[in-house]
Amino acid sequence: MALKIGADAPAFELKNVDGNTVSLESLKDGASALAIVFSCNHCPYVLAWEDRLIQIARDYAGKGVRFALINANDPVKYPADSFPEMQSRARTKSYPFPYLFDETQEVARAYGAERTPEVFLFDASGRLVYHGAPDDNYDDPSAVKKHYLREALDAVLAGGTPPVAETPPVGCTIKWK
């Protein structure tokens, strides 16, 4: 069961593709908002939304918004989601955010994540304010009518609440061990 709106972000420390450990606290420190996105390398939905997520992260970085991607997929079942493949993907796409490996899958379970991509947006105090899909059309960026994540970020940065707090996450299931 996914975190409920208003819940605090569960703490974590995970290995980033650069080899360093990244904690929730380090991501939250001084951030105006934090988007945690459960992701992976192989899912067609992730690949369809990937460039949009990168652009959103870049567009909001100057406003104090931080992003982190977390891959919890079992790399034994899906070798394309192994740590070396994560490193390669982050380099190839020039990720402007940490890409973290949840090898034990404990973080995904703590958040109640089930899909990739699945967005959890937290305000500056670390409370969940939006959960779900990045927008309403994974397949065609030009056909997007609802920019859920952007609208939620704009609302949080303006001191308000997102117009839509929750949408069904759309994507591949996390590949559990």
Domains identified in the chain and CATH numbers: 13-173 (3.40.30.10)
Long-range (24+ apart) CB contacts under 8 A made by 147-151 are 148/119, 149/35, 149/56, 149/119, 149/121, 150/56, 150/59
- Spatial neighbors of 72 by CB under 8 A, at least 6 apart, are 38, 102, 105, 107, 108, 113, 174
d(CA 134, CA 169): 8
The pLDDT score that the predictor gives to residue 131 is 99
Task: Classify 31 in phi/psi space as left (phi over 0), alpha (psi -120 to 50) or beta.
Answer: beta
> Among candidates 106, 127, 26, which has minimal Cα distance to 68?
26
| 51 CA to centre of own chain | 13
First to last CA, the chain: 18
Contacts of 66 (CB under 8 A, 6+ apart): 27, 28, 31, 33, 34, 35, 97
79/81 Cα distance (integer angstroms): 5
Of 112, 116, 111, 114, the residue nearest 99 (C-alpha): 116
**Taking the model in full, what pTM does it have?**
0.98
Give me the pLDDT at residue 1, please.
83
Q: How do the pLDDT tens digits run along the chain, 177 residues long?
A: 899 999 999 999 999 999 999 999 999 999 999 999 999 999 999 999 999 999 999 999 999 999 999 999 999 999 999 999 999 999 999 999 999 999 999 999 999 999 999 999 999 999 999 999 999 999 999 999 999 999 999 999 999 999 999 999 999 999 999
CA dist., res. 113 & res. 105, Å (int)? 10
